[in-house]
Amino acid sequence: MRVSVPGIPQAILNAKPSFAVRSLTEAKELLTRFIKLGNVAVLSGAGVSVDSGIRAYRGEDGRYMNPNYKYVHSFIFRRPIFYHELMDSTEKGHAFRQRYWLRSYLGYPPVRDTLPNTTHFAIAALQHSTYISNIITQNVDGLHQKALQATASVHWGSGRIQDRILELHGTLHRVRCIRGHNIDRNTFQDWLSSANPKWQEYAEELEQTGTQPRTNPDGDVAIEHLGVSYNEFVVPDCPSCSLEGHKHCVHKPEVIFFGESIPKMIKDKSYQDIENCDRLLIMGTTLATYSAFRLLKHALELKKPVMLLNLGPTRADGVPGVVKLDVPTGSVMRDVARAVIGAQANDDPVIIEMLRSGIVKPPSPDDDDRQPRAAG
Q: Active-site positions?
A: 169
Q: Pick from 168, 108, 93: which is nearest to 138 by CA?
A: 168
C-alpha dihedral (54, 358, 164, 314), degrees to nearest 10: -40
CA distance 236 to 238: 7
Contacts of 128 (CB under 8 A, 6+ apart): 148, 152, 155, 156, 350, 351, 354
CA angle, residues 30, 33, 39, in degrees to nearest 5 = 120
* Contacts within 8 Å (CB) and 24+ apart, 249-252: 249/177, 249/178, 249/179, 250/86, 250/87, 250/89, 250/93, 250/97, 250/177, 250/178, 251/97, 251/101, 251/175, 251/176, 251/177, 251/178, 251/183, 251/188, 252/86, 252/87, 252/175, 252/176, 252/177, 252/178
How does strand 251-255 pair with strand 279-283?
unpaired
Report phi then psi at 176, rounded to 5.
-135, 140
CA distance 33 to 28: 9
